[in-house]
Amino acid sequence: MNTKTSKLRHVSTGVGLLIGSTMFAFALLLLLEHIMVLKEVKMVSVPLVAKLAELERREDALREQVELSQIQAATKVGSLGEKLDINILPKETDFDRLIAAWDLYSDWLRNQGLVSEMSDITFGDPVILEEEGVTVRPMRVSYSAHEDGIKKLLIFTQLAGLLTVSDALTDEEIQILFESTEKENPVGIVALEQFLSSDLLRYSRDVRSYEEQLKRSFNSTEFANLLESVSEGSLLGGAYRIFGGEFGKTMSDGNLWPIQFMTLREVSMEEGGVEGWYRVGLEMLVWER
Amino acid sequence: MNTKTDLKTQMAIPSVGSIIRRVALPFLLFSTVFFGLLLLSYYLLLPRLTQVEVAGKQHNTAQLQSYVTDLQAEVNKLEDARSDFVTPLRDGLYGAIKKDKFSTKGFNDLQEQIIDTAEKVIEEKEEAIHFASFEYFPTKQIFHLSGDVSNVGPRSMTLLAQFVDLLKGMEEVESVDLPRFTREHSEEKGYYSPFDFTLHIQ
């Protein structure tokens, strides 16, 4: 009887220990799981929650801006596309118009004492760019110019082919303005859209009124300062320094704006006889569709 | 006396078997309660503490991650839509060639950087590096320059080498076709080193 009781006690102790150990092992696994979950919350969820509020705010602002800009855009695209096809990337270059624009610009630089001599403008044979499906025509001209005149000649080649204010801004510069409207006044996208789609020549001739109109949609001086720094630091600055005066008026009156799209192929600069003056040669590519 | 001591020793040191027998039940009870509490915590307490309510729904970390990814994708889509409406001419052929035009390094910027680099070499002698010409081919990303190093006596060739080294270190310069390093002498200039070489722009 004693032996039987002792055997039973041994078995129950063994089973108790086995179940106890298994439970303990599972408990440790659960404890580990707790630690993992809490660590994940700290590393992932907390930063995500912080980001979430900003993303939701942006989504709401963007949704509102898209709805507003959609209405404005419908009327705009047609007229811009037409100008693009006729003047900027035409089927055939309008030589009279292009030469007149360069001639007037050279005259304007000459009147400012930045250019003294200009060569004939010559055009090379057109070359078909298979990849883009367009034709480019080389155009050459040379000047005797002051170093400031050379800078202005190069800015003019940069501006050739731009149509609106947004064309003179890089994607990054436009993004800065977008982000600012999201933060300050999402409805201001309508004013920004009108500003960006303004004709570059008209803007250059009346910078103050275009910028004031946009600033009215945003009360803070922060936006005003941002707009000022973007316009001054971008090609817009070059545009209003060139087209802001008499030359812009002549371009407008002579119906020479917008200028056909051009890119620079070669610049050569040799020292001239007088300090600060150089012989500069430009070869541009004039783009045709 | 000896029998008493042995008995005491036997009573003071219980056998391993008896220890296990005594501990088994409390260990079983402890493990069961411990496991039970952790199980309750895992299913009832932990979710309450770690889930986040977003848009009226509870989200755990994985769900939250996927929610944020979807939201980010939606924001990007809306940004693209806004750009399409606000600046419609940024796509297509016109957008592409305009982007190319903007991405090309400007002649004036490169020229100014080259002149600045020359000034670093010739701090004490302003007129030492003299440029005769610059040529820039933006589509080929080649910048050609010529001139000479003079007014520094027989050091002209060393200064030219320093100048080329500094040009190689410019962020915009990918490589330099090395010039011919030579020292010449003339009545007018004294010792001078002419240069005529090409920079490959990045």
Q: Is A89-161+259-288 a domain of CATH 3.30.70.60?
A: yes
What separation in angstroms does the CA of A85 have from each of A82, A286, B97?
5, 14, 15
Indicate the DSSP class of residue A42: I
CB contact under 8 A, A269 and B38: no
Report the residue from A20, A30, A170 with minimal CB separation from B102: A170
Split at pLDDT 50, 70, 90, the class of B23 is: confident
Cα gap A37→A30, rounded to integer Å: 10
pLDDT score at B145: 94
Which residues, other chains included, contact B150 with Cβ-Cβ below 8 Å and sequence gap of 6+? B127, B128, B130, B156, B189, B190, B191, B192, B193
Mean pLDDT over each residue of chain B, to the nearest integer: 86
Partners of residue A65 in chain B, C-beta under 8 Å: 78, 82
Q: What is the ipTM of this complex?
A: 0.75
Spell A207-219 as b/e; 16+ CB within 10 A means b.
beebbeebbebbe
Closest CA to B190 of B161, B163, B150: B150
> What integer is the mean pLDDT of B148-164?
89
Report the residue from A23, A56, A270 with minimal CB separation from B35: A23
pLDDT score of B2 more than 60? no
Q: Which tokens hold the place of B102?
A: 């903007």
Which residues, other chains included, contact A41 with Cβ-Cβ below 8 Å and sequence gap of 6+? B50, B61
pLDDT score of B9 more than 70? no
Do B194 and B147 form a contact (C-beta atoms < 8 A)? yes
Write the burial class of residue A7 (CB in 10 Å: 0-12 exposed, 13-18 middle, 19+ buried). Answer: exposed
Tell me which chain A residue has its CA closest to the CA of residue B49: A38
CB contact under 8 A, A27 and B35: yes
Q: Which helix (H) or strand (E) holds A150?
A: helix A147-159
> What integer is the mean pLDDT of B25-49?
91
CB contact under 8 A, A58 and B75: yes
CB contact under 8 A, B50 and A163: no
Q: Where, residue-wise, is CATH 3.30.1360.100 in chain B?
A: 107-201
Closest CA to B145 of A269, A274, A282: A269
Cα gap B57→B61, rounded to integer Å: 13
Half-sphere CA count of A166, side-chain side, radius 13 A: 25
Q: How many Å lie between the alpha carbon of A11 and the closest alpha carbon of chain B?
A: 10
pLDDT score at A76: 64
Query: Which range, of A60-64, A77-81, B39-43, B45-49, averages the lowest pLDDT?
Result: A77-81
Query: pLDDT over 90 for what percent of chain B?
Result: 42
Which residues, other chains included, contact A181 with Cβ-Cβ below 8 Å and sequence gap of 6+? A65, A188, A189, A192, A218
pLDDT in tens, B85-100: 888 777 788 888 888 8
Do A73 and B88 form a contact (C-beta atoms < 8 A)? yes
Cα gap B114→B136, rounded to integer Å: 12
Q: Virtual CA dihedral for B74, B75, B77, B81, nearest 10 degrees?
A: 130
Q: How far is CA A96 from the centre of its chain?
A: 32
Three-class secondary structure of residue A208 per DSSP:
helix
Q: Is B107-201 a domain of CATH 3.40.50.2000?
A: no
Q: Which tokens hold the place of A33?
A: 């799981």
Query: pLDDT over 70 for what percent of chain B?
Result: 92
Cα gap A243→A241, rounded to integer Å: 6
pLDDT score at B6: 60
pLDDT in tens, A122-176: 999 999 987 777 899 999 999 999 999 999 999 999 999 999 999 999 889 999 9
CB contact under 8 A, B133 and A73: no
pLDDT score of B11 more than 80? no
- The phi and psi torsions of B156 (rounded to 5 degrees) equal -55, -40
Cα gap A192→A105, rounded to integer Å: 30
Cα gap A119→A96, rounded to integer Å: 17
B83 or A108, higher pLDDT: A108
Partners of residue B133 in chain A, C-beta under 8 Å: 268-271
Cα gap B21→B24, rounded to integer Å: 5
pLDDT score at A74: 66
Q: How many Å lie between the alpha carbon of B2 and the closest alpha carbon of chain A?
A: 31
CB contact under 8 A, A84 and B94: yes
pLDDT score at A190: 83
Cα gap B198→B179, rounded to integer Å: 8
What is the DSSP annotation of B14-59? --HHHHHHHHHHHHHHHHHHHHHHHHHIIIIIHHHHH-EEETTEEE
pLDDT score at B124: 63
Residue ranges of the domains in chain A?
Answer: 59-84+165-239, 89-161+259-288
pLDDT in tens, A102-113: 999 999 999 999
Closest CA to A186 of A104, A277, A67, A73: A67
Tell me which chain B residue has its CA closest to the CA of residue A65: B82
pLDDT score at A1: 54
Q: Which helix (H) or strand (E) holds A196?
A: helix A189-196
Q: What is the pLDDT along chain A (289 residues), one digit of tens a residue?
A: 567 787 887 888 888 889 999 999 999 999 999 999 899 888 888 888 888 888 888 898 888 888 887 776 766 666 777 888 889 999 999 999 999 999 999 999 999 999 998 999 999 999 998 777 789 999 999 999 999 999 999 999 999 999 999 999 988 999 999 889 888 888 888 888 889 989 999 999 999 999 999 998 888 889 999 999 999 999 999 999 999 989 999 999 999 999 999 999 999 999 888 888 999 999 999 999 8
Indicate the DSSP class of residue A284: E
Number of Cβ atoms within 10 Å of the Cβ of A234? 17
> What integer is the mean pLDDT of B161-190?
89
pLDDT score at B181: 87
Q: Which tokens hold the place of B36?
A: 């039970």
